[in-house]
Every structure is written in C-alpha cells, then in structure tokens.
Amino acid sequence: MDRPFRERDAWALLACLFLGIATALYAGLALRGLFGDGVHLLIRLMQGDSFWFAEPSRITAVAILEAPTLAALKLGIGGLHTVAAILSVTLNILPLLVIALCFGILPQHRRAFFLLPAFATFGGIYAAWYVPIAEGLLATAYFWLLFYLLLFAHDAPRWRILIVALAIPTLALDEPMAFLAPVLALAALRRRGALSAPLALWFLAVALHAGWEILHPYNTANRDRFAAHFLLLHWLRAPDGHVNGPAVLLLCAGAAIAGAILRPAWRTPLLAAFTAAAFLVAAGAFLSDRLISPGAQFDSRYIPQLLSLPLALVALASLRRPAWVARWATSLTQAIVLILGLAGATWNIAAVLDWQRFTATFRAALARHEGLVSWDTLIAELNADDAARFKRMNWAWNFPELSIVLSPGGDVHTILADPAGPGWRPFDPAVAAELPSGALFSTSAYRAARARAR
C-alpha cells in the first residue's frame, strides 16, 4: 500500500524547487529574459526611467517585475549588461522564489499541501519558462502565496495587515483573476474575524473587474490570438513542429497521478512510464531542439493559472474533508511531482544552452558587419542549424532591439533587421530619427556606418 505523505517529503519538494531556482538564475545570467518582449521592456525602462505598463490590467505584476531594474537605473548601478542581467534574473527567478514562500506559511502538519503549488510550478510555470516576461508566471505565484496566507496564516495583526496589503493589488494583477479571485473569496470565508466578509466581497469585485478586462481588453488582438492558439494546441506543439517538452510532461504527470488515484494497482507501471517519459524529454532536449519551442512556451503563459484553479479547489475541499488528503498526498504523487520538477529543471539547462548558441551567433553577426544587415543577408550567411534557430527565435520585430542590448558595452555599430512584412515595429532601424536613445547605449557608430554606406 502506498505510504502517506511525510514532512520530509515536503522538504524534498522544496529542494527540487531550489534546483529549479538555480537553473532559473543560470537562464537569467545568460540574459534569456530578453527573449520575446523582454528586450523591448528593457529598452523602454532605460528610455523612460520609470515604470512601463503595456497592459493596464496587469499593473501589479508588471510593477513587481520591473521594480528591481528600475531601482538599478535610478541608483546608477552598472552598465547596459548589468542592468539587462538584473531584469533577466528578476523575470526568471522571482515567481519561483514567491512559490518557495508558501512552504514557510504552511503549518508543520499541513506540509502535504505544498504538493499543490509545487505541481502548479513544475507543471505550469515550467511549461512557459522560456518566456519569463509573461506576467502570468508571477501572478500564479502571487495567487498561491495569498491563498495560503488566507488559509493557514495566524490571525495576529501582522498577518492581517500582510493579507490586506496583498489583497488590494489583486485588482490589477492579471486577467485570470476572473476565475481565481472567487477561490480567494472562498478562502477568505474560512477565516474567522472581522476581515473575512470584507475580503470575500473584495475578491468578488476583483473577479468582476478581471472579467470585464477579458471582455473589453486593452488589446483585442492579443486576447483573440491567445484564445485561437490555445484551442489549436499551439501551447503543446508549435506550427513549426517544435514541441513544448515541459507541457508534454505536465499532461503525462496529470494522467499518471489521476490513473494511480483511480486504479491503485497501476501505481508501479504508471510511475515507470512517467519516469521514462521524463527522461526522454529531459535528455532529448540536449540532443534535439525539437523539444524546445519558445513559441509554444509563450502560448502556455496562462497554463499555470488554469492549472492552479483545480489544484486550489482540491486544497479547499481537502480542508473540509481531511481524509481526502490521503488520496492525493501519497509517496507516488510526490515521486511524480519530484520527477516532473527534476526533468523540468534539466530541460531548462538545455533551453539555456540553446539560447546561448543563438546569442553567440547573434553577437558574431554583429561583429562581422557594420550598419544595417537585412534578414535575407543574415540568414544566407548562417549554416542550416543556426538559420533554423534564428527563424525559431525571431519575434517578428525584436532583432533591432536585441542588436542594441547585445552590442559590446552598448556601443552599437550594427543592427540586424527582422524579416520584411506587415506588423508593428518599435522603430525602423533604417530611419535615424526613430532610433532609441539612452544613457547606457549609443547608436552614433551605427549612424556613422549608415552615412558611409550611402
């Protein structure tokens, strides 16, 4: 018979989480936080020297993510590379650090409940890890921290103040609060005291506000694109054929856990099958980039919050019926979640190496050229593997901004262009008047090269 969950099992999960934090730090120092919209955020922060909010519905998450970088800019800490590293590290590690705080909130006899945010992290956050600029990753961690504070924190004044301080900003945390805030309302009603009812009403108001933001978004195209890509399973397999390895493991882990609960006799073969799948994905990511899909990871940006909904409901139901904890908090579940976390952290190392190969090739192209380099020229001079990687990494508009940030010392001599085509661009690198400017980088050498080319 499967043994029940023990306290030391929770410590093992925490250790696995810190392994993930270590690989996230590695990704941050490698500047993978610049991928996608990350580099644009960095340029905007350096230009404006203030918070930049692209989506008003996510002000809380964005402000938390931007605060360390903005503080570094205000204090004049380091040059361009240092500031870029601060932003990248913050984006990569902050959601995992917030999840780790949940462990400290749980009473000793409730440590089994750490399985739930751990699964949301190893299965959900890791499925979108390549694109840490997505606010949903931090919003997921924020939800779990507040949820467990509501359920397990003492009723001392300092805890009440902390809960209220965290509850108020949920009004602009992220759109999925439309379905997560009612769960917080249920958690608030479990508390005893004068704050219980007001908090529950507040979270219902948050849910209504988030629902309004979904129905009337700041950018309708972004909402509709996400919905279409989600229904087409682009979060699992991108149109280019690349597969989101951690998302595949999430589905396998969920099936294995559900199967073991429904059919206890299948525990051993289910664990063996999942272990084999985890090994294939983790090891395979080092052998083939087919298991590394930045695009599919971006389309997974709300998977952590969608996954958190049923997990949080399991927590609430298990507090009402404590006997249910023994059904899901077992050594088998812990083993599957641990393997999921280990495989995800290993996959992340392979993903960082993939990113480093891309940035090394990118920097080499910057060093070989001077002035503006067209997309066709760039692709023609690369070998087949590097050309395919550049196509997979291209965000349609961010190569010129990457050219600025990856230039040595911020001294920009070369800008690599994106593929020609319709769509938004932050600036046209062929137009000198549109080039961004900032104290930590200079485009004067690039302007001179363009003038000589004429």
> pLDDT 10s digit of each residue in the chain, 454 long?
466 677 788 899 999 999 999 999 999 999 999 998 999 999 999 988 789 888 888 999 999 999 999 999 999 998 999 999 999 999 999 999 999 999 999 998 899 999 999 999 999 999 999 999 989 999 999 999 999 999 999 888 899 999 999 999 999 999 999 999 999 999 999 987 788 999 999 999 999 999 999 988 877 877 888 888 889 899 999 998 999 999 999 999 999 999 988 888 888 999 999 999 999 999 999 999 999 999 999 999 999 999 999 999 999 999 999 989 988 988 899 999 999 999 999 999 999 999 999 999 999 999 999 999 999 999 999 999 999 999 999 888 999 999 999 999 999 999 999 998 888 899 999 999 999 998 999 999 999 999 888 7
Region of 409 (left: φ > 0; alpha: ψ -120 to 50; beta: rest) is left
Looking at residue 78, what is its pLDDT? 87
- β-partners of residue 276 are none
Helices 80-105 and 135-152 pack at an angle, to 10 degrees, of 30
Side chain identity, residue 169: P
d(CA 189, CA 162): 17
At a CB cut-off of 8 Å and minimum separation 6, what does 39 contact?
Answer: 398, 401, 402, 405
pLDDT for the residue numbered 448: 93
CB burial of 153-191 (b: ≥16 within 10 Å; e: otherwise) equals beeeeeebeebeebbebbbbbbbbbbbbbbbbbbbbeeb
Query: Could you give the CA distance from residue 292 to residue 275 in angstroms, rounded to a whole number?
Result: 19
C-alpha 287/C-alpha 52 separation (Å) is 39
pLDDT of residue 1: 44
pLDDT of residue 3: 65
CA distances from 290 to 278, 295, 329 (A): 15, 12, 34
- What is the rounded distance in angstroms from the CA atom of residue 337 to the CA atom of residue 319? 21
Residue with tokens 């249920």: 186
